Structure 1
Amino acid sequence: MLSLGLALEAMFTLLTIRGVPFFLILLIIGNVSVCFMPIDVLPHIYRYGYAFPFYNISCAVRTILFGTKNKLGLNFGILLVWTAISCITLPLFQWMMRRKHISGAMEADEKVRDE
Protein backbone atom coordinates (compact mmCIF):
# COMPACT_ATOMS: atom_id res chain seq x y z
CA MET A 1 0.00 0.00 0.00
CA LEU A 2 2.86 2.35 0.72
CA SER A 3 4.42 1.99 -2.72
CA LEU A 4 1.19 2.59 -4.62
CA GLY A 5 -0.20 5.16 -2.21
CA LEU A 6 2.87 7.36 -2.36
CA ALA A 7 2.99 7.10 -6.16
CA LEU A 8 -0.62 8.23 -6.31
CA GLU A 9 0.07 11.03 -3.82
CA ALA A 10 3.02 12.27 -5.89
CA MET A 11 0.95 12.31 -9.05
CA PHE A 12 -1.92 13.98 -7.21
CA THR A 13 0.39 16.89 -6.47
CA LEU A 14 1.47 17.13 -10.09
CA LEU A 15 -1.80 16.42 -11.93
CA THR A 16 -4.26 18.02 -9.48
CA ILE A 17 -7.73 16.62 -8.90
CA ARG A 18 -8.63 16.64 -12.61
CA GLY A 19 -5.83 14.39 -13.84
CA VAL A 20 -5.71 11.87 -10.99
CA PRO A 21 -8.57 9.65 -12.25
CA PHE A 22 -6.78 9.16 -15.58
CA PHE A 23 -3.52 8.30 -13.86
CA LEU A 24 -5.31 5.97 -11.46
CA ILE A 25 -7.05 4.10 -14.27
CA LEU A 26 -3.74 3.68 -16.13
CA LEU A 27 -1.98 2.58 -12.94
CA ILE A 28 -4.64 0.00 -12.11
CA ILE A 29 -4.83 -1.38 -15.65
CA GLY A 30 -1.05 -1.50 -15.95
CA ASN A 31 -0.67 -3.31 -12.64
CA VAL A 32 -3.56 -5.76 -12.86
CA SER A 33 -2.85 -6.78 -16.46
CA VAL A 34 0.33 -8.58 -15.37
CA CYS A 35 -1.14 -10.34 -12.34
CA PHE A 36 -3.80 -12.64 -13.72
CA MET A 37 -1.36 -14.94 -15.55
CA PRO A 38 2.36 -15.66 -15.24
CA ILE A 39 4.40 -13.08 -17.12
CA ASP A 40 6.30 -15.84 -18.95
CA VAL A 41 3.06 -16.84 -20.70
CA LEU A 42 2.07 -13.28 -21.63
CA PRO A 43 3.39 -11.45 -24.73
CA HIS A 44 6.74 -9.69 -24.38
CA ILE A 45 5.13 -6.28 -23.97
CA TYR A 46 4.07 -7.31 -20.46
CA ARG A 47 7.65 -7.80 -19.23
CA TYR A 48 7.35 -4.43 -17.48
CA GLY A 49 5.28 -6.28 -14.89
CA TYR A 50 8.38 -7.62 -13.18
CA ALA A 51 9.02 -4.09 -11.90
CA PHE A 52 5.43 -3.22 -10.95
CA PRO A 53 4.04 -3.43 -7.42
CA PHE A 54 0.98 -5.68 -7.94
CA TYR A 55 3.03 -8.46 -9.50
CA ASN A 56 5.56 -8.37 -6.68
CA ILE A 57 2.84 -8.30 -4.04
CA SER A 58 1.11 -11.28 -5.63
CA CYS A 59 4.40 -13.20 -5.84
CA ALA A 60 5.16 -12.44 -2.19
CA VAL A 61 1.68 -13.55 -1.11
CA ARG A 62 1.96 -16.77 -3.13
CA THR A 63 5.34 -17.47 -1.54
CA ILE A 64 4.01 -16.90 1.98
CA LEU A 65 0.73 -18.78 1.56
CA PHE A 66 1.67 -21.64 -0.73
CA GLY A 67 5.42 -21.99 -0.23
CA THR A 68 6.33 -21.38 -3.87
CA LYS A 69 9.79 -20.32 -5.06
CA ASN A 70 11.14 -17.90 -2.47
CA LYS A 71 11.91 -14.49 -4.00
CA LEU A 72 10.68 -12.43 -1.04
CA GLY A 73 13.85 -10.35 -0.92
CA LEU A 74 13.46 -9.34 -4.55
CA ASN A 75 9.72 -8.71 -4.17
CA PHE A 76 10.07 -6.52 -1.09
CA GLY A 77 13.12 -4.82 -2.59
CA ILE A 78 11.13 -3.72 -5.63
CA LEU A 79 8.33 -2.45 -3.40
CA LEU A 80 10.84 -0.51 -1.31
CA VAL A 81 12.35 1.01 -4.47
CA TRP A 82 8.87 2.18 -5.53
CA THR A 83 8.45 3.71 -2.08
CA ALA A 84 11.85 5.41 -2.24
CA ILE A 85 11.19 6.82 -5.71
CA SER A 86 7.85 8.17 -4.54
CA CYS A 87 9.44 9.67 -1.42
CA ILE A 88 11.95 11.48 -3.65
CA THR A 89 9.50 12.64 -6.30
CA LEU A 90 6.79 13.82 -3.88
CA PRO A 91 8.82 16.74 -2.44
CA LEU A 92 10.22 17.45 -5.90
CA PHE A 93 6.74 17.75 -7.41
CA GLN A 94 5.57 19.85 -4.46
CA TRP A 95 8.53 22.18 -4.95
CA MET A 96 7.78 22.46 -8.69
CA MET A 97 4.11 23.25 -8.10
CA ARG A 98 4.96 25.77 -5.37
CA ARG A 99 7.33 27.58 -7.73
CA LYS A 100 4.64 27.56 -10.41
CA HIS A 101 2.05 29.05 -8.06
CA ILE A 102 4.45 31.67 -6.68
CA SER A 103 5.47 32.82 -10.16
CA GLY A 104 1.81 32.91 -11.20
CA ALA A 105 0.95 35.02 -8.15
CA MET A 106 3.86 37.38 -8.86
CA GLU A 107 2.74 37.84 -12.47
CA ALA A 108 -0.83 38.55 -11.35
CA ASP A 109 0.48 41.06 -8.80
CA GLU A 110 2.53 42.81 -11.50
CA LYS A 111 -0.51 43.04 -13.77
CA VAL A 112 -2.51 44.66 -10.97
CA ARG A 113 0.27 47.18 -10.34
CA ASP A 114 0.53 48.04 -14.05
CA GLU A 115 -3.16 48.86 -14.25
Structure 2
Amino acid sequence: MYKISEFSEMTGLTKETLRYYAEVKLLEPAYVHPKNHYRYYDDGSYFLAVLLVKLRQFEFTIQEMISVMEDESFANLETLLQEKRDNIQLQIHHLQLKINEIDVFLATGREIEE
Protein backbone atom coordinates (compact mmCIF):
# COMPACT_ATOMS: atom_id res chain seq x y z
CA MET A 1 0.00 0.00 0.00
CA TYR A 2 1.16 3.50 -0.82
CA LYS A 3 0.46 6.70 1.08
CA ILE A 4 -1.04 9.48 -1.01
CA SER A 5 2.30 11.35 -1.13
CA GLU A 6 4.12 8.24 -2.40
CA PHE A 7 1.36 7.50 -4.87
CA SER A 8 1.40 11.08 -6.09
CA GLU A 9 5.13 10.86 -6.75
CA MET A 10 4.76 7.49 -8.52
CA THR A 11 1.96 8.61 -10.83
CA GLY A 12 2.70 12.28 -11.38
CA LEU A 13 -0.79 13.17 -10.15
CA THR A 14 -0.84 15.84 -7.47
CA LYS A 15 -2.31 15.06 -4.07
CA GLU A 16 -5.03 17.61 -4.84
CA THR A 17 -5.87 15.81 -8.09
CA LEU A 18 -5.99 12.47 -6.29
CA ARG A 19 -8.35 13.94 -3.69
CA TYR A 20 -10.53 15.39 -6.43
CA TYR A 21 -10.56 12.10 -8.36
CA ALA A 22 -11.69 10.35 -5.16
CA GLU A 23 -14.37 12.99 -4.61
CA VAL A 24 -15.85 12.46 -8.10
CA LYS A 25 -15.44 8.69 -7.75
CA LEU A 26 -12.91 8.52 -10.56
CA LEU A 27 -10.06 6.95 -8.59
CA GLU A 28 -10.82 6.08 -5.01
CA PRO A 29 -8.13 4.97 -2.57
CA ALA A 30 -7.91 1.24 -1.95
CA TYR A 31 -8.13 1.94 1.78
CA VAL A 32 -8.89 4.92 4.00
CA HIS A 33 -7.80 4.60 7.61
CA PRO A 34 -10.94 4.99 9.75
CA LYS A 35 -9.28 7.08 12.48
CA ASN A 36 -6.87 9.42 10.70
CA HIS A 37 -8.50 9.29 7.24
CA TYR A 38 -5.15 8.73 5.53
CA ARG A 39 -5.59 7.46 2.00
CA TYR A 40 -3.74 4.42 0.74
CA TYR A 41 -3.44 3.16 -2.80
CA ASP A 42 -2.45 -0.25 -4.13
CA ASP A 43 -1.01 -1.66 -7.35
CA GLY A 44 -4.46 -1.85 -8.94
CA SER A 45 -4.89 1.85 -8.20
CA TYR A 46 -1.57 2.47 -9.92
CA PHE A 47 -2.79 0.85 -13.14
CA LEU A 48 -5.93 3.01 -13.10
CA ALA A 49 -3.94 6.16 -12.30
CA VAL A 50 -1.61 5.55 -15.26
CA LEU A 51 -4.67 5.11 -17.48
CA LEU A 52 -6.15 8.38 -16.19
CA VAL A 53 -2.90 10.24 -16.83
CA LYS A 54 -2.96 8.96 -20.42
CA LEU A 55 -6.61 9.91 -20.89
CA ARG A 56 -5.87 13.45 -19.66
CA GLN A 57 -2.97 13.65 -22.14
CA PHE A 58 -5.50 12.72 -24.83
CA GLU A 59 -7.69 15.61 -23.57
CA PHE A 60 -10.50 13.48 -22.18
CA THR A 61 -12.91 15.45 -20.05
CA ILE A 62 -13.58 14.40 -16.47
CA GLN A 63 -17.00 13.12 -17.55
CA GLU A 64 -15.44 11.05 -20.35
CA MET A 65 -12.91 9.65 -17.90
CA ILE A 66 -15.69 8.74 -15.47
CA SER A 67 -17.51 6.98 -18.30
CA VAL A 68 -14.39 4.93 -19.08
CA MET A 69 -13.84 4.04 -15.43
CA GLU A 70 -17.48 3.04 -14.89
CA ASP A 71 -17.17 0.59 -17.78
CA GLU A 72 -14.85 -1.80 -15.98
CA SER A 73 -14.46 -3.95 -19.08
CA PHE A 74 -13.09 -0.93 -20.97
CA ALA A 75 -15.17 -2.11 -23.94
CA ASN A 76 -15.94 1.45 -25.04
CA LEU A 77 -12.41 2.76 -24.55
CA GLU A 78 -11.35 1.90 -28.09
CA THR A 79 -14.42 3.66 -29.49
CA LEU A 80 -13.77 6.78 -27.39
CA LEU A 81 -10.12 6.83 -28.40
CA GLN A 82 -11.07 6.52 -32.07
CA GLU A 83 -13.52 9.41 -31.66
CA LYS A 84 -10.75 11.52 -30.06
CA ARG A 85 -8.43 10.60 -32.92
CA ASP A 86 -11.06 11.52 -35.52
CA ASN A 87 -11.69 14.87 -33.78
CA ILE A 88 -7.97 15.63 -33.77
CA GLN A 89 -7.77 14.78 -37.48
CA LEU A 90 -10.66 17.17 -38.13
CA GLN A 91 -8.94 19.91 -36.12
CA ILE A 92 -5.77 19.36 -38.15
CA HIS A 93 -7.79 19.65 -41.36
CA HIS A 94 -9.39 22.92 -40.20
CA LEU A 95 -6.02 24.31 -39.16
CA GLN A 96 -4.53 23.38 -42.54
CA LEU A 97 -7.39 25.26 -44.24
CA LYS A 98 -6.59 28.32 -42.11
CA ILE A 99 -2.92 28.06 -43.06
CA ASN A 100 -3.89 27.91 -46.72
CA GLU A 101 -6.14 30.98 -46.31
CA ILE A 102 -3.29 32.88 -44.67
CA ASP A 103 -0.96 31.91 -47.52
CA VAL A 104 -3.49 33.12 -50.10
CA PHE A 105 -4.02 36.35 -48.17
CA LEU A 106 -0.27 36.96 -47.96
CA ALA A 107 0.16 36.20 -51.67
CA THR A 108 -2.65 38.61 -52.54
CA GLY A 109 -1.00 41.33 -50.47
CA ARG A 110 2.30 40.80 -52.26
CA GLU A 111 0.60 41.03 -55.67
CA ILE A 112 -0.97 44.36 -54.73
CA GLU A 113 2.42 45.78 -53.65
CA GLU A 114 4.02 44.84 -57.00
Q: TM-score band, normalised by the shorter chain?
A: 0.3 to 0.5
TM-score with structure 1 length normalisation? 0.37
Mark the structure with the bigger radius of gyration.
Answer: 2
Higher strand content, 1 or 2: 2
